Amino acid sequence: MREKRDQSSEPEVEGNLKPGGATLADVSKLAGVSSMTVSRALHKPEVVSKKTLEKVNWAVEQLGYIPNMMAGSLMSKRSRLVAVFVPTVAHSIFADMVQALMHSLARKGYHTIIGVTEYSDKQEQELVEAILGRRPDGIVLIGTQHSDLTRKRLQVSNVPVVEAWDMCDEPLDMLVGFSHEEVGRAIARHLLSKGFRRFAAISVADPRGIRRIGAMLDELAKHEIVDVPHLYLPIPATLSTGRDGLRQLLECNGRPEVVVCSSDTIAQGVLAEAASRGLKVPNDLAVMGFGDLSSASQVYPSLSSVRLDGQLVGETIAKVLLDRIAQKSSATRGLRVDTGFNIIDRESTRRS
pLDDT at 3: 41
Choose the final residue of a domain: 74, 97, 114.
74
Whether residues 187 and 328 share a domain: the answer is no
Here the CATH number for the domain that contains residue 174 is 3.40.50.2300
Question: Is 131 inside any structural domain?
Answer: yes
Mean pLDDT along residues 192-196? 97
pLDDT at 1: 39
What percent of the chain is modeled with pLDDT above 90? 72
What percent of the chain is modeled with pLDDT above 70? 90
Choose the final residue of a domain: 17, 44, 74.
74
pLDDT at 43: 77
> 305-315 pLDDT, tens per residue?
999 999 999 99
Here the CATH number for the domain that contains residue 20 is 1.10.260.40
More confident: 167 or 69: 167
Q: Into how many domains does the chain fold?
A: 3
pLDDT at 220: 98
pLDDT at 76: 52
User: What is the span of the domain harbouring residue 21?
Assistant: 7-74
Return the bridge partners of 114, or none. Answer: 84
pLDDT at 72: 52
pLDDT at 352: 74
Contacts of 342 (CB under 8 A, 6+ apart): 306, 307
Whether residues 45 and 98 share a domain: the answer is no
> 168-186 pLDDT, tens per residue?
999 999 999 999 999 999 9
pLDDT at 21: 66
Question: Is 348 inside any structural domain?
Answer: no
Whether residues 197 and 236 share a domain: the answer is yes
Average pLDDT for the chain = 89
Q: Is the pLDDT of residue 349 over 80?
A: yes
Whether residues 58 and 97 share a domain: the answer is no
Side chain identity at residue 62, one-letter code: Q
Residue 223, CA distances (Å) to 219, 227, 278 in order: 7, 12, 31
> 81-106 pLDDT, tens per residue?
999 999 998 777 899 999 999 999 99
Contacts of 6 (CB under 8 A, 6+ apart): none
Whether residues 92 and 147 share a domain: the answer is yes
> 230-264 pLDDT, tens per residue?
999 999 899 999 999 999 999 998 899 999 999 99
CA distance 133 to 157: 10
Whether residues 189 and 287 share a domain: the answer is yes
Question: Is 106 inside any structural domain?
Answer: yes
Whether residues 129 and 70 share a domain: the answer is no
CA-based torsion, 337, 149, 101, 179: positive or negative:
negative
Residue 87 main-chain phi, psi, to 5 deg: -70, -35
Contact 295/267 with Cβ under 8 angstroms?
no
pLDDT at 135: 87
Q: What is the pTM of this model?
A: 0.78
